[in-house]
Amino acid sequence: MTVFIALLRGINVGGKNKIKMAELREMFEKLGYIPVKTYIQSGNILFQSNEGEDELRKKIEHQIEEEFGISINVILRTASEMEQIIQNCPFSEEALSQAKEAAPDVETLYVTLLLEAPNPENVELLEEYQSERDQFKVIGREVFLLYHHSVRDSKLATNLHKLNVPATTRNWKTINKLVTMAKEMEGFRY
C-alpha cells in the first residue's frame, strides 16, 4: 500500500467551504482508505491506497462534492514525493536565513503543489512578479516560494494563478510535518 497525502484547496479558509476534519476522515474511511489521519484544518489528509493518482483524485473530488456540496481541487502526492520536495528545496541556507531575518515573525518558505507541471510560457508570466523580496523556483509539479515579508503582502503569491494549473500552497513547517506523519503511517499495516 502506498501512503498518499491529499491536499485540499480552499477549505476552511475565511469561513468558506467549511468541512470538519472528523467528517472528512469518515468520508475517506467510507471510501476504504484506512488508516486516515488529518493535519490541521486546512485540508491535509494522509491515507493508504493501491489505486493510481488520477483515479484517486477523481474519486475523492467526486465524494467531497457528493457529501459536502463543495467542488474543489484535490492535489495528491505520495509519501516519497513529499519527501523529495524537502530534498529538492532550491534555496540555500543563506537565502533562507536572510528571509527569516527580514521577517522573523512570519513563515517565509512555502511550496505550491500543482496538479501538473506548468507550461514554460506560464512560468515566464510569473517571473515579472519576482523580486529580491519574492523569489520562486519551479521544480516539476512544485513551486518553491521564498518571501522576505508576509506572504499576504506578496504580488507573487496573488499571481500564482497565472501558472494556469490547479494548485494549493502549504508552508514549509506543514510540508515537514506531513512527511513525518507519512513516515509513521508507512510502518502501519491494517
Residue at 76: amino acid letter: L
CA dist., res. 177 & res. 86, Å (int) = 11
**Do residues 175 and 111 lie in contact, with contact meaning Cβ atoms separated by under 8 Å?**
yes
User: Does residue 139 sit in helix, strand or coil?
Assistant: strand
CA dist., res. 6 & res. 8, Å (int) = 6
Grid cell locating 167: 494548485
Domain 2-78+178-186 has CATH 3.30.70.1280: yes
Per-residue pLDDT of the chain (190 residues), as tens digits, is 999 999 998 786 666 788 898 999 999 999 999 899 999 988 899 999 999 999 999 999 999 999 999 999 999 999 999 999 999 999 999 999 999 999 999 999 999 999 999 999 999 999 999 999 999 999 999 999 999 999 988 999 999 999 999 999 999 999 999 999 999 998 765 4
Q: What is the residue extent of each domain of the chain?
A: 2-78+178-186, 85-171
pLDDT value for 42: 81
CA angle 90/92/98 to nearest 5° reads 125
CA 173 centroid distance within chain: 11
